[in-house]
């Protein structure tokens, strides 16, 4: 009996020695020698799950994931509750594209009852949640792990990278600062901190410029954001959304429509981009397209007052465009300055002055045209009247105004236009008697 016990003890001792030597060589980076010892440990005890796990670790360090996979499967067969092995196998299966098998491993790990105060268990489960795309649950476990272990720089770094990849640069900055409080020389955290800080500063600066209505500068700043972080879609998408807004506010209709459309290609229900593109369509006099965007935005944000007002305005302008359009009469854009309006008016007033026409029919046509030109100039050079017109009301239409200001024209062309200077810059007052 003593002899048998001695043989068993000798075998166990040999296996343990190989495992211990293998661990030391692995830590020293001597992978081939470490592997040899783990081979011997497995030969000595084919049911030692830790020997298989150590050998799998060496294979992974050597980049031989295909060799590591059977060893990890053997570990799980011998010890089904070994979560580290199951997590690593899940990662390998994921990389090989065996998604269903990987998901089963991850789900097995997260369903495993963990000791709530065990840091390693929390971190392992968080890693599984990350692989499964359940970032909220991963964050919850990592936050717990960061509190359970007082110097857990690893958890803070992981939290910061998760927030960063989710597009939350402010929370990412907060977490990486916690890491650096614990270890100011932490290489990963310091490198990540520099990146997040730069990105955060650019975004804050861009938003300040928008608040100051410096939309051109803000758009350029957001272009810098895309250059700083081209690999995380959340930032390039957010930057394009804000550039779309800046261009719409700048009344750069064509570029606004293009950029907003790019945003909506990847995010068709983005309410902000829909509103901004609708505004650009309004400026470009594409009223039906503006109505479509406002209606789409309303479907996803029913209580947004800006959408309601924008839709009503677009509908009024569409109706108005089917009637008399003072901008079209003068041949100017809706964002034309007063100087452009007066210049266009003078040119057309000279062209359509009734005194230039002798034929009765042509004169009659010119009279009507001249009145439209004169009214267009009056409306568009008066800020109050122009504002009403821009909101879909016609200040010259009695039905639209109902008692409001509108110009009356009486009578015929007796005496022509003597005394009336169509090239003056001030308001004009004249009466015609059509009898």
Higher pLDDT: 320 or 235? It is 235
pLDDT tens-digit readout, 97-130? 888 888 888 778 777 655 566 787 788 788 878 8
The CATH number of domain 327-433 is 3.40.50.1370: no
List the alpha helices (DSSP H) in 359-404: 360-381, 383-390, 398-401
Average pLDDT estimate for 192-205: 98
Segment holding 154, helix H or strand E: helix 153-165
150 Cβ partners below 8 Å, 6+ apart? none
Residue 156 has pLDDT above 60, yes or no: yes
Cβ atoms of 143 and 174 within 8 Å: the answer is no
Q: Would you kindly state where each structural domain of the chain is located, as residue ranges?
A: 327-433
Q: pLDDT, tens digit, for every residue of 86-97?
A: 888 988 888 888
Number of H helices, E strands in the chain: 22, 2
pLDDT tens digits for range 34-63: 899 999 999 999 999 999 999 998 988 898
- Contact yes or no for 334/327 (Cβ under 8 A): yes
Kindly calculate the radius of gyration of the chain based on its CA atoms and give it in whole angstroms. Answer: 37
For residue 2, pLDDT over 50 is answered with no
Q: What is the pLDDT of residues 406-435, one digit of tens each?
A: 444 433 343 344 334 444 444 443 433 333
Angle, helices 135-148 vs 119-132, to 10°: value is: 160
**Whether 52 contacts 22, CB under 8 Å:** no
Residue 24 predicted with pLDDT over 60: yes
Whether the Cβ atoms of residue 314 and residue 278 lie closer than 8 Å to each other: yes
CA separation for the pair 435, 413 (Å, rounded): 10
Q: How far apart are CA 92 and CA 310, in angstroms?
A: 53
Please, are residues 367 and 353 in contact by the beta-carbon 8 Å criterion? no
Question: What are the two backbone dihedrals, phi and then psi, of residue 117, each rounded to the nearest 5 degrees?
Answer: -100, 10
> Tokens for 4?
């048998």
Instruction: Spell out the residues 6+ positions from residue 306 whose beta carbon is closer than 8 angstroms to its own.
Output: 275
**Helices 83-95 and 119-132, axial angle in degrees (round to 10):** 20
Closest to 383 measured CA to CA, from 417, 320, 411, 341: 341
Q: Does residue 318 have a pLDDT over 70?
A: yes
Least confident of 195-204, 219-228, 330-339: 330-339
Residue 1 has pLDDT above 50, yes or no: no
Contact 328, 346 (CB under 8 A): no
Q: What angle do CA 396, 402, 403 make, to 5 degrees?
A: 85
Answer left, alpha or beta for residue 133, where phi above 0 means left and psi between -120 and 50 means alpha: left
Q: What is the mean pLDDT of the chain?
A: 85
Angle at 10 between CA 5 and CA 14, to 5 degrees: 150
Is 319 exposed, middle or buried, given 0-12, 13-18 or 19+ CB atoms closer than 10 A?
exposed
> pLDDT tens digits for 221-276?
999 999 999 999 999 999 999 999 999 999 999 999 999 999 999 999 999 999 99
CB contact at 8 A, 168 and 157? no
Determine contact, residues 123/137, Cβ cutoff 8 Å: no
DSSP letter (8 states) at residue 354: G
């Amino acid at each position: 009996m003593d002899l048998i016990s001695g043989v068993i003890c000798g075998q166990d001792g040999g296996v343990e020695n190989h495992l211990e030597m293998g661990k030391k060589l692995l830590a020293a980076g001597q992978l081939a020698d470490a592997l040899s010892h783990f081979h011997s440990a497995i030969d000595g005890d084919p049911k030692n799950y830790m020997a298989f796990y150590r050998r799998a670790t060496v294979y992974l360090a050597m980049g031989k994931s295909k060799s590591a996979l059977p060893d990890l499967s053997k570990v799980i067969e011998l010890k089904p509750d070994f979560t580290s092995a199951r997590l690593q196998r899940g990662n390998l299966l994921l990389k090989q594209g065996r998604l269903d098998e990987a998901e089963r491993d991850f789900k097995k790990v997260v369903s495993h009852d963990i000791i709530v105060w065990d840091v390693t268990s929390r971190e392992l489960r968080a890693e599984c949640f990350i692989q499964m795309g359940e970032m909220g649950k991963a964050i919850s476990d990592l936050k717990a792990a960061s509190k359970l272990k007082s110097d857990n720089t690893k958890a803070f770094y992981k939290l910061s990278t998760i927030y960063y990849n989710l597009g939350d640069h402010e929370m990412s900055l907060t977490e990486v600062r916690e890491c650096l409080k614990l270890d100011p020389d932490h290489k990963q955290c310091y490198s990540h901190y520099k990146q997040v800080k730069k990105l955060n500063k650019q975004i804050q600066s861009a938003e300040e410029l928008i608040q100051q209505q410096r939309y051109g500068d803000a758009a350029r700043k957001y272009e810098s954001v895309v250059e700083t972080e081209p690999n995380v879609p959340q930032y390039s998408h957010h930057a394009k959304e804000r550039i779309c807004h800046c261009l719409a506010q700048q009344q750069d209709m064509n570029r606004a429509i293009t950029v907003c459309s790019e945003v909506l290609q990847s995010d068709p229900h983005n309410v902000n981009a829909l509103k901004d593109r609708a505004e650009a369509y309004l400026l470009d006099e594409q009223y039906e397209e503006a109505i479509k965007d406002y209606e789409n935005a309303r479907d996803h944000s029913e209580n947004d007052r800006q959408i309601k007002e924008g839709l009503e305005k677009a509908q009024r302008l569409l109706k108005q465009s089917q009637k008399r359009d003072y901008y079209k009469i003068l041949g100017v854009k809706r964002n034309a300055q007063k100087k452009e309006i007066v210049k266009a008016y003078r040119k057309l007033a000279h062209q359509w002055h009734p005194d230039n026409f002798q034929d009765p029919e042509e004169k009659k046509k010119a009279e009507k045209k001249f009145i439209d030109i004169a009214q267009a100039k009056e409306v568009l050079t008066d800020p109050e009247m122009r504002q009403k017109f821009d909101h879909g009301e016609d200040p010259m239409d009695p039905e639209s105004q109902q008692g409001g200001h509108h110009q009356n024209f009486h009578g015929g062309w007796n005496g022509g236009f003597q005394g009336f200077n169509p090239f003056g810059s001030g308001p004009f007052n004249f009466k015609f008697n059509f009898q």
